[in-house]
Amino acid sequence: MGATHLQNDPRPGSPIDHQPTTWGEMFKKWPKQTFLIVGNELCERFSFYGMRAVLTLYFFNILGFTQSSSTVLFHAFTVICYTSPLLGSILADGYIGKFWTIFFVSIFYSCGQILLAFSSIAPSESSHHPFLDLLGLLIVGLGTGGIKPCVSAFGGDQFPAHYTRMISIFFSMFYFSINAGSLISMWLTPHMRSMSCFGNDSCYPLAFGIPAFLMIVATLVFMAGSYWYKKVPPKENIIFRVIGTIFTALRNKLSSSSSHHRSHWLEYSLNGHDCAMSPECKALHGNCAQRRYIGDIKQLFRVIVMMIPVPMFWALYDQQGSTWVLQAIGMDGNVWGWEILPDQMGVLNAFLILFFIPLFQSLVYPAIERCGFELTMLRKMACGGVLTALAFFVCGVVQLFVNSSLPYLPASNEAHLTIINTLPTCDFKVQIDSREPFDLLRTTGINPEDLVIKPISFSGESMFQPNITFTNDSPNCPKFTAHPTFIATNSYVMTLTPNGWTYNSVKPQKPKSGNGEFGIGINLIVPCDKIPSSVTWESCNGTTGYSGNIALCKVETDTVSDAEHICTPGQKGKFYSLSKSNHLEVHDYVKGDSSSYGKSYEAVDVRPGKYKLFYTDEAQKNFYAMDLGTVEQTHMGGVYLMTISTKSNGDSDILATTKSLVCHNRVSILWQIPQYVIITAGEVMFSITGLEFAYSEASPQLKSVVQALWLFTTAVGDLIVVIIFMLNIFSDVAVQMFVFSGIMLLVIFVFILLAVFYYEYADYSNESEVLTEKMMVDEEHTRI
């Protein structure tokens, strides 16, 4: 009865059900539920890559980790994401099947995304951080890895095994959905992150919340097809079988006597095997199935040896989401009036990979072979590895130029001093202790560009007090000697004003949020009797000076008549309050005595635009405009110090001058394009070809093992990055890039040596046909 049923069964998958060849036939027989699987993957990849795109900046700006620690956490998260597929594969193949694994793990995954989005709402100083964030990321890492090895295979299960062309088209659709999801999300979520919400100048709750919502959508879309899915029950877990075979071989080898010597140690697993009792051996009509299986594992070990250098590729490649994003923070994102965010540059890789794959297949590879050079898979991988090393070399060169705009950080026995001369008509000759004198000039006028800044470094003990002598030839300009006290590792600013000279420590830290800000601090050196009487609240006395805050309110024009219409406290991106301040000792040039009415306001990060300065109280209810015009700094990444003082001791007019303490970002973010182009070309030649090599060189029944091992190489590569950064070896990012480039070249040299001894590629075409026929028969028996 069974045979008769098979011969007359016209359903898809039966032996008489031929593979569709035309588009019309394929459309009629296409399993429509696979569109739900593709939609699920699109939403899930949007969720994952969108969250991952802003993750490094979240660690750095919100959770307050250092650049090194942020990089470690980013790559530690990636290690979890690419280790957990082993668990997902074991769960699906050996216990509950692919469908229920995807369903349960997707719910678990969604909970992690929701937890991360919820935690990001809390202020950065909240006790929720970083525990809830890291817990959410742990759940996301386990979730994405848990479903990663199941979804594509589950989609392939919906087709009869001999519908090879339709399966190939499905995997092309599936791959396109992955790249489409990542491409859109890697551009969109950084923009969401740069918005203002919940009283913060950035909106990580939105950047994490949208991916969380899409993960819920992905789960619902997948479950919508539950009734129509073909659910293949779990079978023997091939990973466990391979591990068991290796363990048995080692155990038998250790316990066997010399008289039972085998040609290969894996053959010791054949001890006690009886072909006459094995159904698999009987099906092969006299051939030993277990011996063939041992041969497949031997070939697997050959592939594993060639995969040893692969983790180093991932160690470099995945730094696109960490060190390359941090590099972009120090670059100028203003491009022809558009602002490119640091974490948006990664979209280049997703875009270029879609462009490069057909380009290399149709043009690059054929052109190279027409020149008489045979491009084997291993040769392509070697070229891809060299390109990856070149990408990091280019990145290092770019970083050398970026370094020129970074602030100077004093060493453990140094202090750094910047002298700013705001006196309208006085030029000085300055001598510090016994050093060579230098000129400190100041041309006539109050144009900020006329200011002269002179940075100096001191080396000595942890605390020192140099003699700084100022002389000049003008009878109208002061001559004096200053004795400031400096503490090692700190940076200081000494300012000469009409009211006297003063100095204070500053923090030479560039804006780091990646929203295009510049930093601005204020030294207010105005006696109380020169503060306008309209400032009616109790904010000034003759001893301690002004005690209120200073507000920057964004304006559209230079003329502002009513502060209430432009100053809205809490309006992010348009209102900034300078409230953290310290007293300044203002030293008289002639008498040498000092007064403490000066105030130094710590710099705040401000988005580009025009701003008006206002006196305001701590409650930010009263505002009085300073008659200084508008403040405008359009240079991203610069840190500026505004000095506000009276023009002379007898005048009430206010003098305001601004000077850059930290250079703005001078290197355009477009200079990252070459390194992205090169590493994407390296990815096409190394990663995609490497997966093809590993898949084609493994036997059909061990391809899932190879897939799991290939994913695991990513985890190992990111673990290498974690270890290197935890050792804190590099203080210069450029040196770090050059070292990674050199290591990659060394690894590729080893890879080439291994490839030289890889004499013959495997051919499993016959085994694939036999396996396909066996799968078809098994499928029919399952239906019957």
In this prediction the pTM is 0.83
CB atoms inside a 10 Å sphere around CB 426:
18
Q: Are 584 and 495 in contact (CB under 8 A)?
A: no
Q: Radius of gyration of the chain from Cα atoms?
A: 34
Q: How far apart, in whole angstroms, are the C-alpha atoms of residue 523 and residue 601? A: 6
Q: Are 641 and 521 in contact (CB under 8 A)?
A: yes
Task: Provide the CA 713 distance to its chain's centre, in angstroms.
Answer: 19
Name 624's bridge partners: 615
Q: What value does the mean pLDDT take over residues 500-509?
A: 89
Q: Which residues of 162-187 are buried (b: 16+ CB within 10 A; e: fewer)?
A: bbeebbeebeebbeebbbbbbbbbbb
Amino acid (one-letter) located at 313: F
Query: What pLDDT does 502 receive?
Result: 92
* Secondary structure percentages of the chain, helix, strand, coil, to 5: 50, 15, 30
Q: Are 294 and 266 in contact (CB under 8 A)?
A: yes
β-strand 491-497 against 414-421: which pairing, if any? parallel
Domain ranges for the chain, please list them. Answer: 31-235, 414-662
Q: How far apart, in whole angstroms, are the C-alpha atoms of residue 572 and residue 305? A: 55
DSSP collapsed to 3 states, 133-195: HHHHHHHHHHHHHHHHHHHHHHHHHCCCCCCHHHHHHHHHHHHHHHHHHHHHHHHHHHHHHCC
CATH number for the segment(s) 31-235: 1.20.1250.20
Query: What pLDDT does 178 receive?
Result: 83
> Whose CA is closest to 424, among 447, 393, 401?
447
Q: Express each pLDDT in 60-98 by its tens digit.
A: 988 989 888 999 999 999 999 998 888 888 887 778 888
Q: In this structure, what DSSP letter does residue 425 have?
A: S
Please determine, for residue 197, whether its predicted confidence score (pLDDT) is greater than 90. Answer: no
Q: How far apart, in whole angstroms, are the C-alpha atoms of residue 350 and residue 651? A: 62
**pLDDT level of residue 9 (50, 70, 90 thresholds):** very low
Torsion of CA 574, 575, 580, 586, to 10 degrees: 90
Q: How far apart, in whole angstroms, are the C-alpha atoms of residue 56 and residue 726? A: 16
Q: How far apart, in whole angstroms, are the C-alpha atoms of residue 673 and residue 345? A: 8
Q: Express each pLDDT in 695-742 by its tens digit.
A: 777 777 777 777 778 888 999 999 999 999 998 888 889 999 999 999
Q: How far apart, in whole angstroms, are the C-alpha atoms of residue 352 and residue 359? A: 10
β-strand 549-555 against 545-546: which pairing, if any? unpaired
Q: Express each pLDDT in 245-276 by its tens digit.
A: 888 888 877 777 665 677 777 777 777 776 76
Amino acid (one-letter) located at 521: G
Query: What pLDDT does 736 receive?
Result: 93
Q: What percent of the chain has pLDDT over 70?
A: 86
Please determine, for residue 213, whether its predicted confidence score (pLDDT) is greater than 90. Answer: yes
Query: What pLDDT does 4 receive?
Result: 38
Backbone angles phi and psi of 44, in degrees to 5: -65, -40
Instruction: Identify the top-confidence range among 2-16, 190-204, 648-662.
Output: 190-204
Q: How far apart, in whole angstroms, are the C-alpha atoms of residue 729 and residue 727? A: 6
Backbone angles phi and psi of 205, in degrees to 5: -55, -35
Q: Which residues contact 706 (CB under 8 A, 6 or more apart)?
A: 300, 303, 694, 695, 697, 698
Q: Express each pLDDT in 346-365 by its tens digit.
A: 889 888 988 888 888 888 88
Q: Express each pLDDT in 542-590 by its tens digit.
A: 667 788 888 888 887 656 555 666 888 878 778 888 888 888 889 988 8
Name the more confident of 769 and 124: 124
> Whose CA is closest to 779, among 7, 15, 4, 10?
15
Place of tokens 């964030």: 133
Instruction: Identify the top-confidence range among 315-324, 625-634, 772-781.
Output: 315-324
In whole angstroms, how far apart are CA 692 and each of 8, 161, 239, 330, 759? 39, 20, 20, 38, 18
**pLDDT level of residue 15 (50, 70, 90 thresholds):** very low
Amino acid (one-letter) located at 520: I
Q: How far apart, in whole angstroms, are the C-alpha atoms of residue 417 and residue 358? A: 56
Q: What region does 611 belong to: left with phi over 0, alpha with psi -120 to 50, or beta?
A: beta
Which two tokens mark 503? Answer: 């100095």
Q: How many helices, marked H, and strands, marked E, lie in the chain? A: 23, 24
Opening angle at CA 359, ends 358 and 363, nearest 5 = 115
**Burial of 276: CB neighbours in 10 Å, binned 0-12, 13-18, 19+:** exposed
Q: In this structure, what DSSP letter does residue 447 have?
A: -
Query: What pLDDT does 453 receive?
Result: 57
Please determine, for residue 472, whether its predicted confidence score (pLDDT) is greater than 90. Answer: no
β-strand 639-646 against 540-541: which pairing, if any? unpaired
Query: What pLDDT does 451 receive?
Result: 47
Q: How far apart, in whole angstroms, are the C-alpha atoms of residue 522 and residue 611? A: 14
Please determine, for residue 784, whether its predicted confidence score (pLDDT) is greater than 80. Answer: no
Query: What pLDDT does 773 receive?
Result: 43
Query: What pLDDT does 146 receive?
Result: 82
Place of tokens 């894996």: 266
Give the side-chain half-sphere CA count within 13 A for 315: 25
Q: Express each pLDDT in 381-433 by its tens digit.
A: 999 999 999 999 999 999 999 998 888 888 777 888 888 888 877 888 888 88
